[in-house]
Amino acid sequence: MNCKHLPSLVAILFSGMMSCVNKPQTASISLDNLIPKPASVKASGEVFELTTASSIFVEGQDQDVLRVGQFLADVLKPATGFALKVVNSGETPAPGNILLALKADTSLREEGYELSVTRDHVKLTAYKPAGLFRGVQTIRQLLPAEIEMPDIQHISWQIAGSTIRDYPLYSLRGGMLDVARHFFGVEDVKRYLDLLAFYKMNLLHLHLSDDQGWRIEIKSWPNLTAQGGSTEVGGGKGGFYTQDQYKDIVKYAADRFITIIPEIDMPGHTNAALASYPELNCNDTATKLYTGTEVGFSTLCTKKEITYKFIDDVFGELAAITPGPYLHIGGDESHATKKEDYIPFVTRVQEIVKKHGKLAIGWDEIALTKLQPNTIAQFWADSANSKEAVRQGARIMMSPANKAYLDMQYDSTSRLGLHWAAYIEVDSAYIWNPATLVQGIGYNNIFGIEAPLWTETISKMDDIEYMVFPRLPGYAEIGWSPVAGRGWDEYKIRLGNHGRRMKSLGIDFYRSKLVPWVE
């Protein structure tokens, strides 16, 4: 191995790298390519090398910490081939090992962490297990990109010496997956959760019902899935999650410190329910199943009492299997509902959500009604609605369609996606600031940021990955990293270097010409 063959972007920041002359194969290790960019990074000038003799020491008896240790061992195994032991002994680890520990530093809050990498050790500390989990993602990204390969790579597993102190800017950051227009099975959702977790995101909103499909088993209304779940856009066979499958998704997410927000869209976007139960229609006649992509034509019958019994049953069952504090009530594009019906309807639905011990989130139109304290409005299209929500004391989930919709095409040649809100190239997706986008909605009004992926044109996992990558890392960074010290010109270099990492993860991402890809 000759050092001069290292790519120029490979950061040989430290004298310790002089030893690369004797290494089996060098590692492209760098402190410069982390996404999201940490709050603070200092190079130590040393290099740690992970070997087959390394172990992961876990301090204390916290089961979640042990689990994070095991997660790290599991993600490092395929590419290294090392069966790293997770040791819970209380002894100080000898040189060459990794240590995970909680510490009483409340300033790190829920998800912050500190990472110290020297020649002798990798020491990760956090106030909470979630912080350790986020820090584990940093350890992954500090290793060579080959660490994400599914099979053994014969390279040396070096980590750049550093001290990192890191925590998120916004406390909720994530994505939305529309499983109603096209259905995606449990394995696809788990893969999506893995990819969100890799970029330190902590929320997945599942759009579980729409005109084209009902995707969650409701035991007291079985026809919702039997009939309403039986198709999808284009007329495919659709599908749904049983409650056990949903619980499995929730658990998988929780193991990654990700909260699931389930959405039942209403009063519009309800054709699948209306086709399943005649009594939900004002004329007592079930509609036909719908497999097209129009919006705004369906509505629950807001004047019937059975409608509220239905919502109470659905949210009751959903609340019981959703440990997270939020239920999403939709509320968008209810063009078939008169405004004078929409307002009392949404007011009453918020009360039902509250009765089940949850907080309501709805698309920004819900601000037309009186919002319950702690209801969250999701800004997607109408800044006036969102400002009205703020005026009522609500907080805003930022999902501006022209910046954060993952179903928008990159440009006019994109093979998938829509463009009603904008073409969103990778630079445009990155260059915006949630706290200054809408006048009157500032940092303190913002509850979180979420990038929705609607699936009218998207029917398989490969398509999801093509639309989501490489924009998702940018949203992750906007949500996590301080605004100062980052910008498109330097971000695109870091993103380019993630090309190799995304490839190792098996992601077939869109190779935007705006990014200098290193693969």
Q: How many residues bind ligand NGO (CB under 6 A)?
A: 10
107-141: burial string, b at 16+ Cβ within 10 Å, e else: ebebbbbbbbbbeebbbbbbbbbbbbbbbbbbbbb
- Cβ nearer to ligand NGO, comparing 200 with 269: 269
Q: Which is nearer to ligand NGO, 336 or 418 (CB)?
A: 418
Min separation Cβ 294 and ligand NGO, Å? 10
Tell me the closest approach of the beta carbon of residue 456 to ligand NGO, in angstroms: 6
In this structure, the number of other CB atoms found within 10 A of the CB of residue 148 comes to 22
Q: Least distance to ligand NGO from the beta carbon of 424, Å?
A: 11
Minimum gap (Å) between residue 391 Cβ and ligand NGO: 21
Report the alpha-carbon distance of residue 162 to residue 48 in Å, rounded.
10
Instruction: Name the minimum Å distance from CB 285 to ligand NGO.
Output: 24
**Residue 408 Cβ, how far from ligand NGO at the closest point, in Å?**
7
Nearer to ligand NGO, 149 or 421 (CB): 421
Whether the CB-CB separation of 180 and 215 falls below 8 Å is answered with: yes
Which CB, 133 or 380, lies closer to ligand NGO?
380
Q: Residues 147 to 186: which contact ligand NGO by CB under 6 A?
A: none
Strands 326-330 and 213-214, sheet pairing: unpaired
Q: Does position 407 bind ligand NGO by CB under 6 A?
A: yes
> Among residues 161 and 417, whose Cβ is nearest to ligand NGO?
417
Closer to ligand NGO by Cβ: residue 144 or 417: 417
CA triple 176-178-179, angle to 5 deg: 125
Q: How far is the CB of 515 from ligand NGO (least distance, A)?
A: 24
C-alpha of 100 from chain center:
24
Tokens of 260: 């699931």
**Nearest distance in Å: CB 414, ligand NGO:** 14
In the bound state with ligand NGO, the residue whose beta carbon lies nearer, of 73 and 424, is: 424
Which residue type occupies 90? G
Nearer to ligand NGO, 240 or 379 (CB): 379
Which of helix, strand or coil describes residue 315? helix
Rounded distance, CA 398 to CA 358, Å?
A: 20
What does DSSP assign to residue 241?
B
- Give the Cα separation of 338 and 345 in Å (integer): 10
Task: Tell me if 363 contacts ligand NGO by CB under 6 A.
Answer: yes
| Residue nearest ligand NGO (C-beta atom) | 454
Q: Are 240 and 232 in contact (CB under 8 A)?
A: no
For residues 214 and 238, the answer to whether their CB atoms sit within 8 Å is: no
Q: Return the active site residues.
A: 333
CB 142 within 8 A of CB 117: yes
Which CB, 432 or 454, lies closer to ligand NGO? 454
Q: x-or-dash pattern for ligand NGO, window 365-384, by CB under 6 A?
A: ---------------x----
Residues 6+ positions from 316 with CB-CB distance below 8 Å: 356
Between CA 127 and CA 113 the distance in angstroms is 7
Q: Pattern 417-436, binding to ligand NGO, x per CB under 6 A?
A: -x------------------
Smallest gap from residue 447 Cβ to ligand NGO (A): 16
Helix (H/G/I), strand (E/B), else coil: 64: helix
Provide the mask over 286-305, with x wherever binding to ligand NGO is found by CB under 6 A and - wherever it is not.
---------x----------
Residue 87 or 295 with smaller CB distance to ligand NGO: 295
- Which of 315, 454, 469, 509 touches ligand NGO (CB under 6 A)? 454
Q: Which of 71, 221, 241, 405 binds ligand NGO (CB under 6 A)?
A: 405
Least separation in angstroms between residue 209's CB and ligand NGO is: 11
- Judge if the upstream peptide bond of residue 470 is cis by omega within 30 degrees of 0: yes
CA 172/CA 151 separation, integer angstroms: 33
Helix segments in 278-405, DSSP class H = 305-320, 339-355, 383-391, 401-404
Angle at the Cα of 437 from the Cα atoms of 435 and 442, rounded to 5 degrees: 30
Question: In Å, how far are 327, 328, 349, 378 from 360, measured between CA atoms?
Answer: 5, 6, 9, 11
The whole-angstrom separation of Cα 133 and Cα 126 is: 9
Q: Cβ atoms within 10 A of the Cβ of 90, count?
A: 10
Which of 166, 263, 317, 333 is close enough to bind ligand NGO by CB under 6 A?
333
Question: Tokens 């601000």, residue?
Answer: 367
User: Rule CB under 6 A: which of 336-355 touch ligand NGO?
Assistant: none
Compute the Cα dihedral for 225, 360, 293, 467 and give only its sign.
negative
Q: Does 410 bind ligand NGO (CB under 6 A)?
A: no
Task: State the residues that interact with ligand NGO by CB under 6 A.
Answer: 295, 332-333, 363, 380, 405, 407, 418, 454, 456
